Structure 1
Amino acid sequence: MPASSRPKDLVYDPTDPSVMADPFPVYARLREEDPVHWSPSLKSWIVTRYTDVRDLLLSDTLSVNRLLQFYQSLPPADALLLKDIVRYLNLWLAFRDPPDHTRVRRIMRHAFTADAIAEMRPRIEDISDLLLDRLAAAGTKDVDLIKEYALQLPAFVIMDLLDVPRDMLDDFKDWSDDMAVFIGGARNSEDKYERAARGCRNMSTYFRKLIEERTAHPKPGFLMDLINARDEGDKLSDDELVATCILVLFAGHETTTNLIGNATLLLLRNPDELSKLRADPDLIDTTIEEVLRFDGPTNALVRVVAKDHDFHGRKLREGERVFVMVNSANRDPQMFDDADSFDITRKQNRHLTFGQGIHLCLGAKLAREEGRIAIRKLFDRFPDLALDAENPPEWLDAMVPRGTRRLPVKLEG
């Protein structure tokens, strides 16, 4: 175990319900007292200051290729159980270093251009209107906004992109939830390996059949663009295509669901800021950026130490896991004026929510567009939207994503 001189009373426990609901006081202490913190319970380093998080995300001293070592350390029974999910996750951009990462990202970027996102805007607006119409027609004022809106909007966008029927939402939600307990770092799930294997098996089987069908019977669209995407004669392999579809569906809806939920919660908890947005709808862009900074959908990014090195007096050894705490970095007062204030008019906002460098999120433009449309239309349709005072939000039990599992609201005051 690495030596540590951390204050004895400073413990970061992500399983503590109070920390799940509001981790920022602990992050503030970590930044001030122990910015490169060894967590015995997580067996990982916790890095919390803005400049450190940014520099590590840009550094070659850390690697995203963290699955192989983990997989090789598993007992044989667990390794067999996780064989398929590790096979596909190892093909995700998020877990690949150059040159493999460079090659796959270069191919995938053809399907994620600014023009492609612009073409999707009317569809996102239509989906938002459809879901809000359903809420208005349901005749109830008490709803879980995550289940009825924040989850469905990005899920339908991604499912439409991938040519997946919308009536499969429940299936894909179950499969994604099963994978999330493994990928997102859930701390309180005893059966996460079994669930992850099941979710990956179901999703990969579905996408492999869909890709085979689309290849045999071409149809214009995002999936066909992925199948046909080439760069200098190179293209995605069959396994890479399946892995990319899983990644697009999983990451494409989870992050945006949390963004919409967190944005709604923050605006309802900060009525003065909501009033500013209502008075000037053009503030929607800076509103979304401030949500991404103040309590964004990505709590942490995970890396492993690629080679032994010293970092602020600590010895980081090859193979050790590092959580670079993006949400802590985004509240660092050394980088942001009045960092703990939610200010939708903030001008200087170089948050790290979508990463840095070569691993900057490919789907960032799409997430932003969905967030802008979802929030603007939600508050236009339900001007009296309010939190349910008797039922507080329920936060995700996870290290990586940051959001609510349930967000009870009242559509009318």
Structure 2
Amino acid sequence: MLHEPHSDLWMLFDYEGVKRALYDHEAFSSVVAPPEAMTSQWLVFADPPRHTKLRALIMRAFTPRAVASLEPRIQALSRELLEQTIERGEMDLAADFSVPLPLMVIAEMFGAPLEDQPRFKRWSDVIMALGYAVAGSEETARVQGEFASVSSEMRVYLRDLAEQRRAVPKDDLLTRLVEAEVDGARLTEEELLGFFQLLLSAGHETTTNLLNNALLCLVEHPEQLARLRAEPGLLPSAIEEVLRYRSPVQAMFRVTRSEVSLHGQVIPAGKMVLAMIGSANRDPRKFHDAERFDITREPNPHIAFGHGIHFCIGAPLSRLEARVGLSVLLERVRGFALASDAPWEPRKAIHVHGPTRLPIRFEPRP
């Protein structure tokens, strides 16, 4: 545990400490966004009982069956994206595959036209920019202004789509969200917008980084890639190891509700805490040979998707997109190699991990 006095931020690095900060909502609050912030409507920034109500409503729509039903379409979209670049023998995996795939899936889940994908990408980029603007800077004011602007756009866009679904229901996520009801309560327009923003940013960013990080791990560990090609059934286990070894989400903020004793130190009440998920997933006290990438690792109790009541609702979707997307890549492509020796540029937001661009070379398979 580390206290950074300049910002008065407490940072947790070990597995048990991070896990406690993620699940012990009595000691660590998730309400880290100020009430006037538009992100305060997001599920991840809520505590019980509000969190309980919101999650129950969303889970009525975001069911395992609904997610599983997307597999054929995710496979078709993955193939369509790969066909655009496969004959060249090279591509930017991020721009050509890992970024557009989850955006296209989200657009379809909401019943939005695929031609709206560039708009979704622009919105997502603005939302993610909130994660790297330094508080009090001119950059922060600009980013928050852009976020307010796109939030207005998204509100109108989502309102129109929701009205269409109320008039003519469809078999899509938006219809289920509009119709979801628990104890007579339904999602308000602001709550629906908050979930849409969360899915568009966190849902998109996590899957993009998971796909990019998976390829990086396999290229850097060719013996593991060879093992995976010889035993395709190891792909789910390989994805779990990528989530541990190169966690797409590296950190989550919490605020102490009261004094918290941890590892012989006391964090006072009302202090901002940064739980370092990426560090926890490499804790040698929890994971044997933690610095080794092993696609057969068992057990693998990583906390890449959080833990407890805030465990990521989109985890099954992200895992499905990664499994299908990587299956298509491995099936159609061989001889993966990075197309540049230059260090890859990380994505800007401090809480995520992965490359902004990932140029690769490969050989198409028949």
Decide: shared fold, TM above 0.5.
Answer: yes
CA distance in structure 2 between the partners assigned to 1:206 and 1:112 by the alignment: 21
Specify the code of the residue in structure 2 equivalent to 1:173: K
Structure 1 residue 96: deviation in Å? 0.6
Q: Do residues 131 (structure 1) and 81 (structure 2) align?
A: yes
CA distance in structure 2 between the partners assigned to 1:250 and 1:203 by the alignment: 13
Specify the code of the residue in structure 2 equivalent to 1:131: L
State the TM-score, normalized to the length of structure 2.
0.93
CA contact 2:43–2:194 (8 Å) conserved in 1:
no
Q: How does 1:116-265 map to 2 (within 5 A)?
A: 116-136=66-86, 139-182=87-130, 184-186=131-133, 189=139, 191-265=142-216
CA distance in structure 1 between the partners assigned to 2:183 and 2:321 by the alignment: 32
Per the alignment, residue 105 of structure 1 pairs with: 55
Specify the code of the residue in structure 1 equivalent to 2:211: I
Task: Tell me which stretches of 4 or more aligned residues in structure 1 moved more than 6 Å.
Answer: none
Moved more, 401-410 or 328-337: 401-410
SS at match of 1:342: coil
Residue by residue over 1:75-116, the C-alpha shift from the partner in whole angstroms, topping out at 9 and shown as x without a partner, is xxxxxxxx5xx23x2221101100000011111112222211
Structure 1 residue 42: deviation in Å? 4.7
Q: Structure 1: which 5+ runs fail to align?
A: 1-35, 72-82
Structure 1 residue 258: deviation in Å? 0.6
Q: Do residues 404 (structure 1) and 355 (structure 2) align?
A: yes
CA contact 2:254–2:275 (8 Å) conserved in 1:
yes
Q: How does 1:75-94 map to 2 (within 5 A)?
A: 86-87=37-38, 89-94=39-44
Per the alignment, residue 31 of structure 2 pairs with: 65
CA distance in structure 1 between the partners assigned to 2:118 and 2:182 by the alignment: 36
Residue by residue over 1:333-364, the C-alpha shift from the partner in whole angstroms, topping out at 9 and shown as x without a partner, is 00000000000010110000111110011111
Specify the code of the residue in structure 1 equivalent to 2:102: P
Specify the code of the residue in structure 2 equivalent to 1:393: W
Specify the code of the residue in structure 2 equivalent to 1:91: Q
Specify the code of the residue in structure 1 equivalent to 2:77: I
Instruction: From the superposition, tell whether residues 333 and 380 of structure 1 become closer, same or farther in structure 2 (CA, over 3 Å).
Output: same
Residue by residue over 1:214-234, the C-alpha shift from the partner in whole angstroms, topping out at 9 and shown as x without a partner, is 223332321101110112332
Q: Structure 2: which 5+ runs fail to align?
A: none
Specify the code of the residue in structure 2 equivalent to 1:386: A
**What is the identity percentage for the equivalent residue pairs of Structure 1 and Structure 2?**
37
Structure 1 residue 314: deviation in Å? 3.2
Residue by residue over 1:97-153, the C-alpha shift from the partner in whole angstroms, topping out at 9 and shown as x without a partner, is 0000001111111222221122111111111111111112xx433321101000111
Match of 1:267 among 213, 218, 227: 218
Instruction: From the superposition, tell whether residues 42 and 396 of structure 1 become closer, same or farther in structure 2 (CA, over 3 Å).
Output: farther
CA contact 1:392–1:408 (8 Å) conserved in 2:
no
State the TM-score, normalized to the length of structure 1.
0.83
SS at match of 1:409: strand
CA distance in structure 2 between the partners assigned to 1:367 and 1:326 by the alignment: 17
Q: Do residues 115 (structure 1) and 65 (structure 2) align?
A: yes
CA contact 2:17–2:262 (8 Å) conserved in 1:
no
